[in-house]
């Protein structure tokens, strides 16, 4: 068997056997197959794709290349919720306490943000002295005691995927639907949860810019999950405007808590309710979506999720009083009100530009070594479909340094597309695929 024959076979759109996939990937992991041949193989996949059983076996090789996390000491129904990333996406902070209130456990690896999207770790580290679980034992203890388990990405999870992604990043093959699906799902499969809830973002502020591409990605991820006999659901959600109002770490923590008080923005609240309801459906509590959402709403109204969040923050070394006193969170020194320069309907808010407007203030990272200012960010006072008058406040900027304020304000203004016609509100839930 030769690697070049495998590349040519995939180049010609033919189906590979498990043995051929093993030969190429095992050789690459051992250092026997060079980067340039695997790069060529990725390009062949980019153009010709993979059939379901090919993709399932390819993903299995990613999972088996490193450690797998199995929670042997947790008796709860474990849910791994994953978002493909967006602006203002703080759903895990609200969701995990809701899952816990239903006696489910959150079992997920969380990441830091880079560029215009934020990471859950960065947001919760706005809480003084907050420490994430550093190993499986700590995570098991947190889930058993609080129902919430979030851990920073483990070092030896799917190392083969990391190695291949580095090649894709410099060879123009990152957009391959099959390779994206395998990369995302391999990390979920390496962490053994009972249910996988995937939030696939669609739009300007997301990696998937079109609904068509998002559908393809969701279908391939479902193919892989079902190939591994996992309970999985994909929710396609709008990212053609930021989620909620808050963009920036401390500000997003506050908005997530406010949702648990029943005071969250409409789109953010709806998304959290649906993500929670889908976990209940996967567990078998009900088959009816509306009934599941009502169960979630009643649970939030009971106050139990807020109490679970207090318990989790305390268990992680933070002050649980931040749930009731936001002054204990980092607060920016200055606030500037950005006002509309014209009247009209908001036709579009470029989510990526809003994310970058917060990033330049210090809320995000341009490089992985940048230090985040947890206090800064912005609160949007507009949504698509809203009628705005000239001079109305459209955003409130929270900042510590004057140096990037004008740049941020300019980016906010440039992010808005206006219309003189009435514009419909955007739906946050686009489709649900099971």
CA separation for the pair 121, 113 (Å, rounded): 8
Look at the domain 330-419 and name its fold.
Answer: Aldehyde Oxidoreductase; domain 3 (3.90.1170)
The DSSP code for 277 is H
- Residue in this structure with the two tokens 């996939």, named with its chain if needed: 21
The DSSP code for 321 is G
pLDDT of residue 159: 94
| Burial call 344-355: b when 16+ CB within 10 Å, e when fewer | bbbebbbbbbbb
- Sort 256 into a burial class: Cβ within 10 Å, 0-12 / 13-18 / 19+: buried
Domain limits, CATH 1.20.970.10, in the chain? 3-49
| Burial call 136-172: b when 16+ CB within 10 Å, e when fewer | bebbbebbeebbbbbbbebeebbebbbbbbebbeebe
pLDDT of residue 155: 66
What amino acid positions are annotated as catalytic residues? Answer: 82, 161, 168, 183, 187
pLDDT of residue 151: 80
Do 107 and 74 contact (CB within 8 A), yes or no? yes
Domain limits, CATH 3.40.1030.10, in the chain? 77-323
Domain limits, CATH 3.90.1170.30, in the chain? 330-419
The CATH architecture one would assign to domain 77-323 is: 3-Layer(aba) Sandwich (3.40)
Do 360 and 213 contact (CB within 8 A), yes or no? no
pLDDT of residue 270: 98
CA within 13 Å, CB half, 406:
1
289-330 pLDDT tens trace: 999 999 999 999 999 999 999 999 999 999 999 999 999 999
> DSSP string of 343-362?
-EEEEEE-HHHHHHHHIIII
In the chain, count H helices and then E strands.
Answer: 16, 13
CA separation for the pair 326, 230 (Å, rounded): 39
> Which regions of the chain are under pLDDT 70?
111-118, 153-155, 367-368
pTM, to two decimals: 0.94
Do 231 and 285 contact (CB within 8 A), yes or no? no
Start-to-end CA span in the chain (Å): 39
| Burial call 281-300: b when 16+ CB within 10 Å, e when fewer | bbbebeeeeeebbebbeebb
pLDDT of residue 164: 96
CATH of domain 3-49: 1.20.970.10
pLDDT of residue 154: 64
pLDDT of residue 116: 53
Helix crossing, 304-315 with 136-146: angle to 10°?
A: 150
């Amino acid at each position: 068997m030769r690697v070049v024959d495998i590349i040519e076979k995939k180049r010609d759109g033919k189906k590979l056997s498990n043995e051929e996939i093993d030969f190429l990937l095992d050789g690459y992991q051992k250092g026997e197959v060079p980067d340039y041949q695997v790069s060529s193989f990725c390009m062949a996949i980019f153009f010709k794709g993979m059939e379901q059983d090919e993709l399932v076996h390819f993903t299995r090789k990613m999972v088996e290349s490193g450690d797998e996390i199995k929670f042997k000491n947790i008796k709860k129904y474990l849910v791994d919720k994953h978002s493909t990333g967006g602006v203002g996406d703080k759903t895990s902070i609200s969701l995990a306490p809701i899952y816990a209130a239903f006696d489910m456990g959150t079992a997920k690896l969380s990441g830091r943000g880079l560029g215009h999207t934020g990471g859950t770790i960065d947001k919760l580290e706005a809480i003084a002295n907050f420490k994430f679980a550093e190993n499986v034992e700590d995570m098991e203890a947190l889930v058993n005691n609080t129902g919430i388990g979030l851990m920073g990405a483990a070092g030896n999870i799917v190392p083969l995927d990391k190695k291949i992604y580095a090649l894709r990043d410099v060879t123009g093959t990152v957009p391959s639907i099959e390779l994206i699906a395998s990369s995302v799902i391999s990390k979920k499969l390496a962490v053994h949860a009972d249910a996988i809830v995937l939030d696939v973002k669609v739009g300007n502020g997301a990696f998937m810019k079109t609904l068509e591409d998002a559908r393809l990605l969701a279908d391939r991820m479902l193919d892989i999950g079902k190939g591994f006999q996992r309970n999985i659901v994909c929710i396609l959600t709008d990212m053609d405007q930021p989620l909620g109002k808050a963009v920036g770490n401390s500000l997003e923590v506050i908005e997530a808590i406010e949702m648990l008080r029943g005071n969250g923005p409409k789109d953010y609240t709806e998304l959290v309710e649906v993500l929670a309801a889908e976990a209940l459906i996967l567990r078998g509590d009900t088959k009816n979506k509306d009934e599941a959402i009502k169960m979630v709403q009643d649970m939030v109204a009971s106050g139990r999720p807020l109490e679970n969040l207090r318990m989790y923050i305390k268990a992680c070394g933070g002050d649980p009083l931040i749930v009731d006193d936001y002054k204990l969170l980092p607060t920016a020194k200055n606030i500037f009100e950005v006002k509309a320069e014209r009247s009209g309907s908001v036709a579009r808010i470029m989510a990526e530009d809003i994310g970058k407007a917060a990033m330049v203030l210090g809320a995000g990272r341009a490089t992985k070594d940048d230090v985040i200012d947890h206090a800064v960010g912005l609160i949007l006072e507009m949504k698509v479909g809203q009628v705005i008058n000239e001079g109305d406040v459209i955003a409130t900027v929270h900042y510590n340094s004057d140096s990037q304020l004008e740049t941020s304000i300019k980016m906010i203004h440039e992010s808005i597309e206006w219309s003189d016609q009435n514009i419909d509100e955007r739906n946050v839930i686009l489709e649900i695929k099971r």
